[in-house]
Amino acid sequence: MKVTEEVWKFYQQHLGYTDEEMKKFRENPRNEDMLSRADALMSKTIVVEVVEAHGCNARHKVGDKFYFDGSGNLLTSLCPKRVCVYALNACAGLIAVANELFYAGVDPNEMRFKRAGCVDVGVQCGGWGRIIVELRVEDRKKA
C-alpha cells in the first residue's frame, strides 16, 4: 500500500526529522512498508501478563498485566503503580518479535516462544525473586 504525503509529513513532524533526515528515512523501502501497516498495528494492544512470580522485590504477582500500544509504548495508566525495570526488560524482546511478526503478516499470537523472565535468577540461584511473563496481542478496546 502506498503511503500518502500527509502520512510522511505526519511522521516527519512526529519524529522531529529535518528534511535531510526525512529524505534518508524515505529512501529505506522497509519504512514505507511499515508505515503502510502502522494503522493496523495501532489498533492493537500488546498485553504482557505475569504468569509466575516469587520473591519479586517490586511485588509483581501472577495476573499483573503490563499494557503497551502497538508500537511498544508502555500505557502507564493501565499498569501497576510500580513497574520493575527488569520486568520491562523481559517485555522488550517479546514486543520486538511481536512487531516483526505483525509487519511480516503473521499473527503475533502464533509466536512459539512467548514467555520471558526477568534477569533476577531467584533465591534458589543466589538472587532475590523471579517473574515470568507471557505476551499476547489483542484488538484495542474502544473507549
Extract the C-alpha cell encoding 35: 508505515
The residue that leads in pLDDT, 32 or 142, is 32
Question: Would you list the domain boundaries of the chain?
Answer: 5-41, 44-139
**Where are the alpha helices (H) located in the chain, listed in sequence order?**
5-15, 19-27, 29-42, 85-103
What is the tens place of the pLDDT at every residue in 77-128?
999 999 999 999 999 999 999 999 999 999 999 999 999 999 988 888 898 9
Residue with grid cell 526477568, as numbered in its chain? 118
Higher model confidence: residue 37 or residue 65? 65
User: What is the residue-averaged pLDDT of the chain?
Assistant: 93
pLDDT of res. 102: 94
Q: What is the mean pLDDT of residues 49-53?
A: 97
State residue 143's pLDDT score: 43
Mean pLDDT lowest among 18-22, 42-46, 119-123:
119-123
Predicted local distance difference test score (pLDDT) of residue 38: 86
User: What's this model's pTM, rounded to 2 decimal places?
Assistant: 0.88
Question: Residue 62, CB half-sphere, CA atoms under 13 Å: how many?
Answer: 4
